[in-house]
Amino acid sequence: MLFNISDTPIASFDGDIALIFITEGSLDSHIQDRELLKRAGFKADQDEVVHLIEKQRLYVGISSLDPDSLRSASATAIRSVFCKSVYKHLAIAPFDSLDEYCMQAVCEGVLLGNYTFTRYKSKPTISNLEKVSIFLKDCNNATKETIQNSINNANIIANATNFSRDIVNTTPDDCYPEILAQIATKLCENSKLECNILRIKELEKQNMNALLAVARASRHEPCVIHLTHKPTKPKYVITLVGKGLTYDSGGLSLKPSASMVTMKSDKSGASAVLGIMKAIGELDLPIEVHGFIGAVENMIGGDAYKPDDVLYAKNGKTIEVRNTDAEGRLVLADVLSYAQQEVKADYIYDFATLTGACVVALGAYTIGIMGHSDAPKALLKEAAMNSGEMVTELHFNRYLKKLIKSEIADISNVSSSPYGGAVTAGLFLSEFINEENKDKWTHLDIAGPAFVEHTWGENPHGGSGAGVRLMVNLLQKLAN
């Protein structure tokens, strides 16, 4: 997508359609199409869209002039028109108090709203949007240079988010562990990123027995992917870990049919890590970032791991398996151990569609964050405010910790209580964080926002790319 900035009046625009933001309640002021909009019943509610076809104007409501409202409105407006029209050239009409943050949000909204996933459509309807001209106002307190910077950021971040969405949306038959490895390898071919893939022999050598047990019944061999972005004088070293269950059938503790649909999205943590690494490579941030992915398929079969098994995890702890559907924590246990063995990081963040309980607790729009220390969580909360993603902290406590005790092994893979499942899953992971890293680690449960059933804000049906904007924002903050 080509973006350009124009300080000529918008009347000079000779493209296809102009996008105009209207703040809720401002419809009575001197807006040019006021009467037409009123007749159409337009109230300028957030994300309400009216397309005046003959006027070549696309109006969208915003609740206020802030980045989150602008991002969501831009995406909704673009989605409503461009996925089927022949329009190629869009104008963004000038608006008040446009700063670099608003500008980035609008461009992100355009790119996220223009996203479609058509791989499995025999007659795909695609957007023809090629060019976006941004018209400025004299009163805008941002220079052309800062706006250009916002456009570049938006391009990299939104493209990385869409890249992550594509991976999540790909079916389990077309995206299994080896395909994730290929995607990672290809990502590194066109950049300075490095990639190391551990296949089954190395995983055995590394004693990653919990991960291997989950993978055993699948015809697809598992792998662990390690991506690295290594600048010369890094300000920080960050480790990211992603749950990459290319399919989660539940294993022998088989999921009910209705819950199994959408479980191609159980690789969303891995997809987020891939998207983040892509963006970090392109931004060339002065931060050393390591992305680790546990790529596994959880299936049933004569060789499947079983409830009652006891697994010997990489860090020496024994795990009683009481439910094979709590597989993500088993995979992450070993990948977290491996990541800590390989890299001494300042902060460790893991991304996982780990529990349905987190969705019950927080709803489908919010990432649950858990950890022992405030510093890495504070960074996430700030990045959430700036990126448009939402996080809420779930607190650990000693009583919930008792619920994952096992009679026969060091720890059980499920809680003995039906309540508090997001936190007990986080506490399970904590058992695989070395003592010296306890304060550096935060777990992000993205089970809610990772896969979208009903379009909301800038997120269409399917994979959302949850975690990408959040973490790129956090890393950009650390870089400055």
Residues that bind Zn ion (CB under 5 A): 245, 248, 266, 325, 327-328
Q: Tell me how far, at minimum, the Cβ of 202 lies from ligand BES, in Å.
A: 25
> Does position 327 bind ligand BES by CB under 6 A?
yes
State the minimum distance, in angstroms, from the CB of residue 218 to ligand BES.
15
CB of 356 to Zn ion, least distance (A): 9
Nearest to 337 by CA among 208, 216, 180: 208
- Least Å distance between CB 248 and Zn ion? 4
* Position among 242, 275, 328, 457 found at the interface with ligand BES (CB under 6 A): 328
Q: Collapsing DSSP states into helix, strand and coil, what is residue 476?
A: helix
The answer to whether the CB of 356 falls within 8 A of the CB of 444 is: no
Q: State the Cα–Cα distance between residues 189 and 195, nearest whole angstrom.
A: 9
Please give the angle made by the CA atoms of 99, 100 and 106, to the nearest 5 degrees: 90
248 binds ligand BES (CB under 6 A): yes
Helices 144-169 and 268-283 meet at what angle, rounded to 10?
A: 150
String of contacts with ligand BES for each residue 431-460, x by CB under 6 A: ----------------x-------------
Q: 17 near 60, Cβ under 8 Å?
A: no
Stretch in the footprint of ligand BES (CB under 6 A) among 7-15, 42-50, 286-294, 322-330: 322-330
> φ, ψ for residue 385 (rounded to 5)?
-60, -35
Asked if 105 and 68 touch (Cβ cutoff 8 Å), the reply is yes
47 binds, among ligand BES, Zn ion, none (CB under 5 to 8 A by kind): none
Handedness of CA 372, 375, 381, 386 (dihedral sign): negative
Q: Is residue 186 annotated as part of the catalytic site, yes or no? A: no
Amino acid identity at 220: H
- Quick one: which of 26, 356, 382, 385 contacts ligand BES (CB under 6 A)? 356
Residue 414 binding result from Zn ion, ligand BES, none, given CB thresholds of 5 to 8 Å by partner type: ligand BES
Binding flag, residue 244, ligand BES (CB under 6 A): no
SS3 assignment, position 84: coil
When the beta carbons of 421 and 465 are compared against ligand BES, the nearer one is 421
User: Taking the complex as a whole, how short is the minimal distance between the CB of residue 370 and ligand BES, in angstroms?
Assistant: 15
Among 353, 459, 464, 476, binds ligand BES (CB under 6 A): 353
Q: Among residues 72, 164, 218, 355, which is the contact residue for ligand BES, using CB under 6 A?
A: 355
88 has catalytic annotation = no
Which residue among 79, 329, 440, 469 is the active-site one?
A: 329
Tell me which of 255, 317, 381, 401 is the catalytic residue: 255
Nearest position to ligand BES, beta carbon: 356
Residue 361 binds which of ligand BES, Zn ion, none (CB < 5-8 A, kind-dependent): none
Minimum distance from CB of 412 to ligand BES (Å)? 10
Q: Which does 68 bind (CB under 5 to 8 A by kind): ligand BES, Zn ion, none?
A: none
Nearer to ligand BES, 188 or 411 (CB): 411
Cβ burial of 42 (10 Å; 0-12, 13-18, 19+) is buried
Beta pairing partners, 349: 240, 442
User: Which one of ligand BES, Zn ion, none interacts with residue 307, CB within 5 to 8 A by kind?
Assistant: none
Contact call for residues 239 and 231 (beta carbons, < 8 A) = no
Using CB under 6 A as the binding rule, whether residue 320 contacts ligand BES is answered as no
3, 90 in Cβ contact below 8 A?
no
According to DSSP H, which parts of 51-123 are helical? 67-82, 100-113
For residues 116 and 170, which CB has a smaller minimum distance to ligand BES in the complex? 170
**Interface stretch with ligand BES, choices 60-68, 189-197, 210-218, 348-356 (CB under 6 A):** 348-356
Nearer to Zn ion (CB atom), residue 60 or residue 359: 359
Gyration radius from the chain CA atoms: 23
Residues 180, 273, 279, 357: which binds ligand BES (CB under 6 A)?
357
Q: Which is nearer to ligand BES, 47 or 325 (CB)?
A: 325
Q: Which residue do the tokens 């939402």 mark?
A: 390
- Contact between 430 and 360 (Cβ < 8 Å): no
* 266 scored as a contact of ligand BES (CB under 6 A): yes
Segment near ligand BES (CB under 6 A); pick from 70-78, 98-106, 146-154, 352-360? 352-360
Q: How far is CA 400 from the centre of its chain?
A: 28
The angle that helices 177-189 and 268-283 make with each other, rounded to 10 degrees, is: 0
Backbone angles phi, psi at 370, to 5 degrees: -140, 145
Which residue in 400, 403, 399 sits closest to 411, CA to CA? 403
**Cα separation, 314 vs 202, whole angstroms:** 12
Q: Where are the alpha helices (DSSP H) in 284-430?
A: 328-342, 356-362, 374-387, 398-402, 421-430
| Smaller CB separation from ligand BES, 74 or 253 | 253
- Residue 83 vs 411, nearer CB to ligand BES: 411
- Residues with a catalytic annotation lie at 255, 329
List of residues contacting ligand BES (CB under 6 A): 248, 266, 323, 325-328, 353-357, 359, 414, 421, 447
